[in-house]
A and B are shown apart, each in its own frame.
Chain A
Amino acid sequence: MQYLFKGRIALVWLGLTIVTLISWQISYVGRAGLSPDLTVSMAVIVIAVIKARFVLREFMEVGHASRWLRVLSDVWVVGLPAAILGALWI
């Protein structure tokens, strides 16, 4: 299927997969402990929103959409982890 390898989509998918495995590994190592680990939590949340931005920009094609959409999606990508980490820290 030539279309699977057209443009950057295969590369983006591969990157998303590798980063998913990394965040799974980060969490798996600390799974046995029953005490909170803010470093692991921060790492997996930041990785998740970076992945979300790639899905928005590359798969949803927000990268070349209208300005309000680019700005609002970036507000979401930056605001969500900030609000979550703030809520965890309060």
Chain B
Amino acid sequence: MASPDIAASLGLTAQEIDKAERHEANLVDGIWIFIVGDLFIFASYFVTYALWRNWEHGIFLAAQQHLSLGFGLFNTMALLVSSWTLAAALKAMRAGDFDAAGWLTLATMGFGLVFVVSKITEWSVEVSHGFVFTSNMFSQFYFWTTGVHILHVFFGLLALFRLYLEVKDPACRNLATAESAAAFWHMVDLLWLVIFALMYLMR
């Protein structure tokens, strides 16, 4: 962490400075190695997708018409709101307001579940219209990438549930665990932002 002057100019709280110092002291932090690794693995999917899109542009554009921009936008908003409520939960925890932290963690899980239900509904609609995994190369990328992503959402929901239990139990509260769970959930949101652009919005 830089000097106190720099920390003050960034508007950091004492707890955020403490976190930054823990990062400096423990450079090889497990959750961050996992997150950075996952980001680069997804990046390799995304670049492979772009290559195939270049090679089969007509097929990809035609297949893309099966996706609903409305569903895509709704799912994006659900995850963005969940990231906001989770960032607020962490602030509440750092302020020692564990009641608020609990409610905000539950709200985050609620928006995560909204995403899951919406995504499964969207898949059902697509499959009922004959758009399935084996339809073409675009559908294979789409179902695979969104499938692996929703698996991350499930693991994220488990981490949030664990976080909620810890917040409710004074003997188990641990800020480092909370920060790790939050970082994982925000990564799930971040990956969806790129998936939304690549699968739904690109032309």
By a beta-carbon cutoff of 8 Å, the part of chain A in contact with chain B is 1-4, 6-7, 9-10, 12-13, 16-17, 20-21, 23-24, 26-28, 30-31, 33-37, 40-41, 44-45, 47-49, 51-52, 55-56, 58-61, 63-66, 68-69, 72-73, 76, 79-80, 83-85, 87-90
By a beta-carbon cutoff of 8 Å, the part of chain B in contact with chain A is 1, 7, 10-12, 16-17, 19-20, 23-24, 27, 32, 35-36, 39-40, 43, 46-47, 50-51, 53-54, 57-58, 61-62, 65, 69, 72-73, 76-77, 80-81, 83-89, 91-92, 95, 97, 100, 103-104, 179, 182-183, 186-187, 189-190, 193-194, 196-198, 200-203
Interface contact B1-A47, CB-CB below 8 Å:
no
Interface contact A41-B202, CB-CB below 8 Å:
yes
Q: A40–B200 Cα gap in the complex (Å)?
A: 12
Interface contact B36-A73, CB-CB below 8 Å:
yes
Complex: chain A residue closest to B48, CB-CB: A87
Complex: chain A residue closest to B85, CB-CB: A4
Which among B1, B23, B62 has the highest number of chain A CB atoms within 10 Å?
A: B23
Q: A24-B201, A27-B201 are in contact. Are A88 and B84 (CB under 8 A)?
A: no
Main secondary structure of the interface of A (DSSP, over half): helix
Interface contact B194-A69, CB-CB below 8 Å:
no
Interface contact A1-B80, CB-CB below 8 Å:
no
Q: A42–B38 Cα gap in the complex (Å)?
A: 24
Q: Of A31, A47, A79, A85, which is within 8 A of B197 by CB?
A: A47
Shortest C-beta distance, B2 to chain A (Å), equals 8
Q: A24-B201, A48-B197 are in contact. Are A13 and B80 (CB under 8 A)?
A: yes
Interface contact A30-B187, CB-CB below 8 Å:
no
Complex: chain A residue closest to B189, CB-CB: A55
Complex: chain B residue closest to A56, CB-CB: B190
Q: A9-B88, A65-B20 are in contact. Are A84 and B200 (CB under 8 A)?
A: no
Q: A72–B23 Cα gap in the complex (Å)?
A: 15
Shortest C-beta distance, A42 to chain B (Å), equals 9
Q: A79–B179 Cα gap in the complex (Å)?
A: 26
Q: Of B85, B100, B182, B200, which is within 8 A of A27 by CB?
A: B200
Interface contact A17-B193, CB-CB below 8 Å:
no
Q: A69-B23, A84-B46 are in contact. Are A33 and B193 (CB under 8 A)?
A: no
